[in-house]
Amino acid sequence: MGKSKRLAVILENCRIGVQDAESEEEIKTAIAPYGYTDEKLQTGLAMYQETFDLSTVQGKEKQDVREVTDQFTE
């Protein structure tokens, strides 16, 4: 599995975990003593989204570089 695929899997697992913690009262109660408030969970989702967006941009940029390199080497 390539690095970008591994990152996508890690990001998706994080998103699922944070959303589950946010929506499941039992999970929310269990993690509250560790400082995971609603605000921190929202921050986590925002961080996920920012990282996902940046990863998407980076993937497109890498593809652009590959295409230009291929054109140059032809």
pLDDT in tens, 21-72: 999 999 999 999 999 999 999 999 999 999 999 988 988 988 888 888 888 8
How is the chain split into domains, by residue range? Answer: 3-73
Confirm whether pTM is higher than 0.85: no
**What is the number of residues in the chain?**
74
| Residue 32 exposure: Cα atoms within 13 Å on the Cβ side | 9
Taking the C-alpha atoms of residue 60 and residue 53, their distance in angstroms, rounded to an integer, is 11
Contact 23, 41 (CB under 8 A): no
Taking the C-alpha atoms of residue 55 and residue 11, their distance in angstroms, rounded to an integer, is 10
Taking the C-alpha atoms of residue 74 and residue 44, their distance in angstroms, rounded to an integer, is 45
pLDDT recorded at residue 37: 94
